[in-house]
């Protein structure tokens, strides 16, 4: 997949904060890219950036647009999973020559598009411009899309070994559906945000209980941030929890990973990297 000079932004989940546009445009310009903000990024339909059909139509438009080198998902928040199966079912030919970047809820689309052979990567999104230090996150995403800058990559990735990264809650809702790619032999990286420890334990129970996940090469944990206080302390830390589920399910635990819902979130391209 080529380096990107034209990047289209669409919002498969929630709407992008319009106030971030000047910053995102400026960083794209600094990186030498032309950024096309699809107006659907600012649509509103209850929780979502427009209805399912509006979001799917916008995605299809940019996937089919031959001028577009990369599709950058604007924001997470839930919604991509409602259109991912339809997006992979009717794939415009031009869709296969692009790179797709996002994380969190956009993981539904990363999974589905990777499954049908598209080039996808887990990494920062335009909405991350709102974070403390978010400009660095935008620059990292753009450096990957525009220059394939290897300094942006999650440092534990191994050349030639396929990797995937997901929000754990999203992965927990992907497994067993038609959207999930083959996980066999993959270095699987997980992260999460805003989940109670008991909910994370339950998601790990579910995910590590799947035959498909038991076939990964190893599991590495990114950051699990903004964990709410339980009404009674859960009594077990996150790392012990993850190691415990790996041990139970016969999955190798490969240590920590530099991904998460924060400005430091590094890039994880799906599949094996050549070179």
Tokens linked to 248: 């139970």
**Given the complex with a copy of itself, which of 5 and 210 has the nearer CB atom?**
210
How far apart are CB 18 and a copy of itself at their closest, in Å? 15
**Given the complex with a copy of itself, which of 106 and 146 has the nearer CB atom?**
106
Cα 213 from Cα 217, distance rounded (Å): 9
**Would you give the DSSP letter of residue 236?**
S
Q: By CB under 8 A, name the binding residues for a copy of itself.
A: 45-48, 78, 81-82, 85, 172-179, 197-198, 201-203, 205-206, 209-212, 230, 232-236
For the chain, state the CA radius of gyration.
Answer: 18
Cα 27 from Cα 136, distance rounded (Å): 9
User: Among residues 88, 246, 71, 261, which one has the least CA distance to residue 165?
Assistant: 261
**Given the complex with a copy of itself, which of 3 and 115 has the nearer CB atom?**
115
How far apart are CB 70 and a copy of itself at their closest, in Å? 26
**Given the complex with a copy of itself, which of 90 and 151 has the nearer CB atom?**
90
How far apart are CB 213 and a copy of itself at their closest, in Å? 9
**Given the complex with a copy of itself, which of 22 and 178 has the nearer CB atom?**
178
- Give the DSSP H or E segment for 242: helix 238-249
**Given the complex with a copy of itself, which of 80 and 164 has the nearer CB atom?**
80
174 three-state secondary structure: helix
User: Among residues 272, 223, 268, which one has the least CA distance to residue 100?
Assistant: 268
Contact 167, 190 (CB under 8 A): yes
Chain position carrying tokens 């270095």 = 187
How far apart are CB 105 and a copy of itself at their closest, in Å? 9
How far apart are CB 196 and a copy of itself at their closest, in Å? 9
**Given the complex with a copy of itself, which of 19 and 155 has the nearer CB atom?**
19
How far apart are CB 126 and a copy of itself at their closest, in Å? 19
End-to-end Cα spacing for the chain = 13
Chain position carrying tokens 């090469």 = 217
Cα 242 from Cα 204, distance rounded (Å): 7
How far apart are CB 222 and a copy of itself at their closest, in Å? 20
């Amino acid at each position: 997949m080529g380096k990107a000079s034209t990047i289209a932004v669409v919002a498969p989940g929630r709407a992008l904060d319009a106030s971030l546009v000047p910053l995102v445009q400026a960083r794209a310009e600094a990186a030498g890219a032309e950024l096309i903000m699809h107006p659907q990024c600012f649509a509103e339909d209850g929780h979502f950036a427009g209805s399912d059909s509006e979001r799917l139509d916008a995605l299809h438009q940019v996937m089919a647009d031959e001028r577009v080198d990369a599709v950058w998902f604007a924001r997470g928040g839930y919604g991509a999973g409602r259109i991912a199966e339809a997006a992979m079912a009717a794939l415009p030919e031009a869709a296969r020559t692009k790179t797709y970047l996002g994380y969190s809820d956009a993981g539904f689309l990363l999974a589905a598009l990777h499954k049908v052979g598209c080039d996808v990567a887990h990494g920062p999104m335009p909405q991350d411009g709102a974070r403390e230090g978010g400009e660095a996150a935008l620059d990292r995403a753009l450096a990957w899309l525009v220059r394939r800058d290897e300094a942006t990559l999650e440092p534990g990735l191994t050349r030639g070994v396929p990797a995937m990264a997901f929000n754990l809650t999203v992965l927990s809702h992907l497994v067993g559906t038609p959207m999930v790619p083959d996980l066999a032999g993959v270095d699987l990286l997980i992260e999460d945000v805003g989940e109670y420890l008991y909910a994370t334990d339950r998601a790990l129970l579910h995910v590590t209980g799947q035959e498909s996940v038991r076939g990964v090469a190893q599991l590495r944990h990114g950051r699990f941030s903004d964990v709410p206080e339980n009404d009674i302390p859960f009594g077990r830390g996150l790392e012990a929890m993850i190691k415990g589920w790996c041990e139970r399910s016969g999955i190798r635990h490969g240590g920590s990973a530099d991904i998460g819902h924060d400005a430091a979130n590094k890039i994880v391209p799906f599949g094996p990297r050549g070179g």
